[in-house]
Amino acid sequence: MAEDDRRRHFEIEQLLARYAHCLDDDRLEEWPKFFAETCTYKITSAENQRCNLPVGLFFANTRGMLEDRVSALREANIYEPQRYRHFIAQIVILECDDAVARVQSSFQIVRIMQDGRTMLFATGCYLDRIAIGAAPFLFEERIVVCDSDRIDTLLAIPF
């Protein structure tokens, strides 16, 4: 692997890791900044994806909609305090040129409730299109494909 490719791969891995830490550390206000101004973010399921059913558990096509999700979680919605712990693995760069990389990775999300109850909340894969032409790298598209279409109680914090 050329040094440039190695560096690019490293930076993409860092982006994915920083994204996970941002959510897990409850720095939700920083979360939209990982995305381009015009972007696609969708949480869907493998079954809906397989059947070409377009509706998501959450869908945004602007960074503004992501910001709205955060302000709703902070100001409007009622849910018990909870945290996630993301585990990201099997990061593969499917396609890449100087401007855009298409990346797939696996995730596992553990949810920790305020009373300590800890459960495996979701598994699946991220299908990403990342703008890599300039720093910082930004998600142009992040499709979160959950292996299951079943959600325990509610989905508040994004994946």
Partner 1 sequence: MAPMEARTNSVPGGWEPGDLTRVPFALYSDPAVYAREQEALFRGPIWHYLGLEAEVPNPGDWRTTQIGDAPIVLARALDGSLNAFENRCAHRGSLLCLAPCGNSKTLTCVYHAWGYDLKGNLTGVAFRRGVQGKGGMPADFDMKAHGLRKLRVASIAGIVFATYSAAAPSLDDYLGPAIAQRIRRVMKGPPKVLGYYTQTLPNNWKLYIENVKDSYHASLLHLFFTTFELNRLSQPGGIIVDSSGGHHVSYSMIEAATGETEYAGAGLRSDRQGYRLADPSMLMGKDEFGDGVTLQILTVFPTFVLQQIQNSLALRRIVPTGTGETALHWTYFGFADDDEEMELLRLKQANLIGPGGYISMEDGAVGGFVQRAIGGAADDVSVLMMGGHEAESQDTRATESSIRGFWKAYRALMGL
Which spans of this chain sit near partner 1 (rule: CB under 8 A)? Answer: 43-45, 47-48, 53-62, 64-65, 67-69, 71-72, 75-80, 149-156
Q: Which is nearer to partner 1, 15 or 32 (CB)?
A: 32
Shortest Cβ 110–partner 1 spacing (Å): 17
DSSP string, 27-66: -GGGGGGGEEEEEEEEEEEHHHHHTT----SEEEEEHHHH
Answer yes or no: are the C-beta atoms of 124 and 12 closer than 8 Å.
Answer: no
Shortest Cβ 123–partner 1 spacing (Å): 16
Q: Which is nearer to partner 1, 61 or 123 (CB)?
A: 61
Element holding 123 (H helix, E strand): strand 118-131
Among 120, 130, 131, 136, CA closest to 87: 120
Q: Which is nearer to partner 1, 5 or 47 (CB)?
A: 47
Shortest Cβ 34–partner 1 spacing (Å): 16
